[in-house]
Structure 1
Amino acid sequence: MKALILAGGSGTRLWPASREAYPKQFLKLGDEKSLLQQTLERLLNIASPKDILLLTNEQYKFHVLSDANEVSKDLADNTLLEPARRNTAPAIALGMKYCLERLRISPEEVLFVCPSDHIIKPVEKFVEYVKLAEKVARQGYIVAFGIKPVYPETGYGYIKVTGEDLGGYYLVERFTEKPNLETAKRFLSEGNYLWNSGMFVFTIETMIEELRLCAPEIYQLFNQPLDDIIANFQKMPDISIDYAVMEKSKKVIAIPMDIYWSDIGSWDSLYDALDKDGKANVILGDVLAKDTESCLVIGNKRLIATVDLKDLIIVETDDAILIAKRGSAQKVKHVVEELKRKKRIEVFEHRTVYRPWGECTSLEEGPRYKIKRIVVKPGASIDLQIHPHWNKHWIVAKGSAKVTIGNNVMYIHENESVYVPKSTPHRLENPDKIPLEIIEIQNGEYIEEDYIVRLDDEHGR
């Protein structure tokens, strides 16, 4: 069995922690590992590293590679980039074509498809469900994993199952997208509805046939060579696998999973997923909670003190703080929409942004100047570049730097600095085995990054 992990989503329902440039699959929420890394470790119980395919896009490529390398050096070998964002149905079709053409996999092979940002436990029980799904998929079915609902959730899709137990799985009557509260209550009371987990198992040949029957526009492009699919991927319809295939196919069955599952679609669901203290609080970070009950409080770098609070969500980042009533977390999307309309940078990226060579944090800025902290990974380097409109100073805070300025190459160490004049080719490298930390001070008439001229681009940006 092969596994296809969909890691290109850009949801911002966990704003301000999750942003378009750094979505929730890369967040470490109450765990030392990101949600993507937890997904990878879970799947290594059912597939070897060479049998796991990561599907993402250019924007998240280096985040995915970095997370994957920390789990296993072999995982990054199979990373496929979507040329454009076209939802899950085209993404799955692209992944299948890659498996057939590049990995030389038989059409009879079973493929397990899952998102990259869910919490599932216990893993051992999950693995047993996947093994059952593999057996059923070999009979020509598309297997959907359903979760037995415990409350009337309006943020999930639902699967209605019908008929008798066929051995741990049931025929699917229909899929229903996110219902209103009254409908969700009815689904819960009727007892034959499951939450749609967004995880599916099928043989490649079965899904190809269902694409032919249910999604001919995708099927026509799928029949082209992989390079042509990539070149014309933007012509794919922007449609989910649920709408494209699952709601139309006659071959879908569902396995109800009696385990803990959450797609962490809101701060409320994160609160439900994490361990509570004696007063039902979830506390992460430097927090002093006095007479505080049933709250989710996530700190970043500052001390957060709470007094006489109940049923609140408080999330602090470098540049934004969210305060909301528990139970209203789904409304965060309205905050994000408003920020997008106002073109606020806080909805797109954090003050710390991640690059192929390391990371960069904005510390301070004003008219004609910026101050940043730059961290360069061991052995990594920043592309040779020119800034036509600003000068800068580099001050080494930790480690050693190899600096190229024009035709001069020099090494500078902790507490030493160097000046880079505008319009001068320059490069910063870390020749050491520890991270290099630099304080960069920029000054000039125009200091935005859209005016960087890269003379080489070894990172393929």
Structure 2
Amino acid sequence: MKVLILAGGSGTRLWPASREAYPKQFLKLGGKKSLLQQTLERLLNIASPKDILLLTNEKYKSHALSEVNEISKELADNILLEPARRNTAPAIALGMKYCLERLRISPEEVLFVCPSDHIIKPVEKFVKYVKLAENAARQGYIVTFGIKPLYPETGYGYIKITGEDLGGYYLVERFTEKPDLETAKRFLSEGNYFWNSGMFVFTIETMIEELRLCAPEIYQLFNQPLDDMIANFSKMPDISIDYAVMEKSKKVVAIPMDIYWSDIGSWDSLYNALDKDEKANVILGDVLAKDTESCLVIENKRLIATIDLKDLIIVETDDAILIVKRGSAQKVKHVLEELKAKSRVEAIEHRTVYCPWGECTILEERPGYKIKRIVVKPGASIDLQIHHNQNKHWIVVKGTAKVTIEDKVMYVHENESVCVPKSTPHRLENPGEIPLEIIEVQNSE
């Protein structure tokens, strides 16, 4: 069995922690490892590193490489980049084509498709469900996993199953995408509706046939050679696998899973997923909570003190603070839409920007000057550049910098500094074995 991890989403419902330039799969939410790293570790109980394919896009490539290398160097060999964002159906088609053409696997091979940003436990039970799904897929079914709903959630899709037990899995009668509250309540009372987990298991040949029948636009491009499919990927319809195939196919079955699952699709779901203290609070970071109950408080950079609060979500980042009533976290998307309409940078990226060579954090910015903290990875360098209206002053805090200014090369050590005049070609490199950390002061007109 091969595993395809979908890691190209933007996770905007967890703003301000998750943003388009650094989405939720790379966040460490209540743990030492990111959601993507937790997903990788979970899936290594199912498949070997060489059988796991990670699908993301160029914008997230350096993030993905960094995350993957901390888990297994072998995983870094199987990162596939989407040429454009076209939702899950085209992404899965691209993953299948890559498996067939580049990895040379058989069309009869089973493929397990899953998101990169879910919490699932216990892992042992999850593995057993996947093995059951693999057996069902070999019989020609497309298998999805249903989660017994704990409450009437309007942010999830729902699966309705029939009563006939086919061996631990059931025929799917209907998919319903994000119902209103009254409908979700009815689904709970009827008992044969489950949350749609967004995970699927099938043989490649089965999915190819269903694409032919249900999604001819995708099937037509899928039949091209891989390089041509990549070149024409932007012509793919922007459609999810649920709408493209699952809602139309007659071969879909569901396995009800009796485990803990959350897609961490909102701050409400994160609160539900994490351990609570004696006052039902989830406190992450430097927080002083006085007479505070049933709150989620996440600190990033400064002390947060709360007094006489109940049922609130408070999330602090370098440049934004979110305060929302628990139960209303789905409305964060409306805030984000307004920020984007106003072209606010807070909608897209953090003050810390991650690059292939390292990271850069804006510490202070005022008219005429900007102060940054720059970290360059061992052996990495920032490309040769020139600024015509900007002087730079570099102060080395940690490590050794190799600095090129025009045709002069020098080494700058800790507690030393160097000036880069405007209109001068320059380059910054880290020749050492530890991260290079510098403070950059820019003066501009």
Separation in 2, partners of 1:315, 1:240:
30
Where 2:288 maps in the other structure, the secondary structure is strand
Aligned to 2:48: 48
Where 2:168 maps in the other structure, the secondary structure is coil
Q: Comparing 40-49 with 362-371, which one deviates more in the overlay? A: 362-371
Aligned to 2:18: 18
Where 2:381 maps in the other structure, the secondary structure is coil
- The Cα shift of 1:422 comes to 1.9
- The Cα shift of 1:419 comes to 1.0
- What aligned pairs does 1:64-83 form with structure 2 within 5 A after superposition? 64-83=64-83
Q: Deviations over 1:95-138 (max 9, x none)?
A: 00000000001000000000100000001100000000000000
- The Cα shift of 1:430 comes to 1.0
- What aligned pairs does 1:306-325 form with structure 2 within 5 A after superposition? 306-325=306-325
- What aligned pairs does 1:369-448 form with structure 2 within 5 A after superposition? 369-445=369-445
Where 1:64 maps in the other structure, the secondary structure is helix
Separation in 1, partners of 2:100, 2:356:
30
Aligned to 2:110: 110
Structure 2 residue identity aligned to 1:67: E
- The Cα shift of 1:399 comes to 1.2
Q: Deviations over 1:193-240 (max 9, x none)?
A: 110000000000000000000000000000000000000000000000
Separation in 1, partners of 2:412, 2:423:
21
Aligned to 1:456: none
Give TM-score, length-normalised by structure 1: 0.96
Q: Comparing 317-326 with 387-396, which one deviates more in the overlay? A: 387-396
Aligned to 1:210: 210
Aligned length: 445
Give TM-score, length-normalised by structure 2: 0.99
- The Cα shift of 1:388 comes to 2.6
Aligned to 1:168: 168
- The Cα shift of 1:359 comes to 0.6
Q: Deviations over 1:321-364 (max 9, x none)?
A: 11111111111111111111111111111101101111100011
- The Cα shift of 1:444 comes to 1.9
1:355 aligns with 2:385: no
1:281 aligns with 2:281: yes
Q: Deviations over 1:52-107 (max 9, x none)?
A: 00100011111011100011111110011100000000000000000000000100
Separation in 1, partners of 2:291, 2:439:
41
Q: Comparing 385-394 with 218-227, which one deviates more in the overlay? A: 385-394
Separation in 1, partners of 2:308, 2:106:
61
Where 2:96 maps in the other structure, the secondary structure is helix
Structure 1 residue identity aligned to 2:435: P
Calculate percent identity across the aligned residue pairs: 89
- The Cα shift of 1:163 comes to 2.8
The RMSD of aligned alpha carbons is 0.7
Aligned to 1:59: 59
Aligned to 1:258: 258
Where 1:178 maps in the other structure, the secondary structure is coil
Separation in 2, partners of 1:50, 1:384:
36
Separation in 1, partners of 2:142, 2:423:
58
Where 1:306 maps in the other structure, the secondary structure is strand
Aligned to 2:194: 194
Separation in 2, partners of 1:107, 1:174:
28
Separation in 2, partners of 1:389, 1:62:
30
- The Cα shift of 1:39 comes to 0.4
Where 1:302 maps in the other structure, the secondary structure is coil
Separation in 2, partners of 1:388, 1:41:
47
Where 1:261 maps in the other structure, the secondary structure is strand
Separation in 2, partners of 1:159, 1:107:
28
Separation in 1, partners of 2:155, 2:274:
19
- What aligned pairs does 1:287-302 form with structure 2 within 5 A after superposition? 287-302=287-302
Separation in 2, partners of 1:341, 1:112:
38
Separation in 2, partners of 1:410, 1:222:
52
Aligned to 1:455: none
Separation in 2, partners of 1:389, 1:111:
54
Separation in 2, partners of 1:19, 1:37:
18
Separation in 2, partners of 1:304, 1:366:
26
1:233 aligns with 2:215: no
Aligned to 1:449: none
Separation in 2, partners of 1:71, 1:13:
27
Q: Deviations over 1:157-206 (max 9, x none)?
A: 01110031111100011111110011111111111111000000000000
Gaps of 5+ in 2: none
Separation in 1, partners of 2:394, 2:300:
27
Where 2:37 maps in the other structure, the secondary structure is helix
Where 2:14 maps in the other structure, the secondary structure is coil
Separation in 2, partners of 1:279, 1:287:
14
- The Cα shift of 1:423 comes to 2.3
Structure 1 residue identity aligned to 2:381: S
- The Cα shift of 1:368 comes to 2.5
Gaps of 5+ in 1: 446-461
Q: Deviations over 1:412-459 (max 9, x none)?
A: 1111111112222211111112111100111223xxxxxxxxxxxxxx
